[in-house]
Amino acid sequence: MDQQRGEDVMSDATEKVGNTVSDLGATAEKIVQDKAHQSKSVLRDLQESAAAAVDRTADLARKVSTAGAQAVDAVQGAARGVGNQASQAASTVYEQGARAGGSVTRYTAEQPLRALVIAGAIGYGLAYLIHRP
């Protein structure tokens, strides 16, 4: 009877060890599955974040490119405007100089002695300014 009892105890112990090992295996499997699921979730979140960052960067690059093109267009337009104004101013000055030259020519032809005295006075005044200490 002792032998039967020893076998029963051994059988119960083996069964309990088997159940415990089975439970530990199931628990380990569940933990591994949970960690794998969490890892997949984290990776998915990282991929989504990276994709969003790339989209934002591309959008920012487009905006900067557009702003740069607008700035170049504005500067070119301003340069053209300044060039046109300078051209008009030069034409106006040239025309006024031509009219003044014509007036001096007519005045000199009409009043040669007076023109000579005025030219001499202007020359003397310039020489005095240049050689003054």
pLDDT in tens, 24-66: 888 888 888 888 888 888 888 888 888 888 888 888 888 888 9
Cβ atoms of residues 107 and 115 within 8 Å: yes
Give φ, ψ of 96 to 5 degrees: -65, -40
Buried b (16+ CB within 10 A) or exposed e, 32-50: eeeeeeeeeeeeeeeeeee
Look up tokens 């557009």; give the residue.
Answer: 66
Locate the domains of the chain by residue range.
Answer: 2-104
The pLDDT score that the predictor gives to residue 9 is: 73
Name 108's Cβ contacts closer than 8 Å, sequence gap at least 6.
Answer: 115
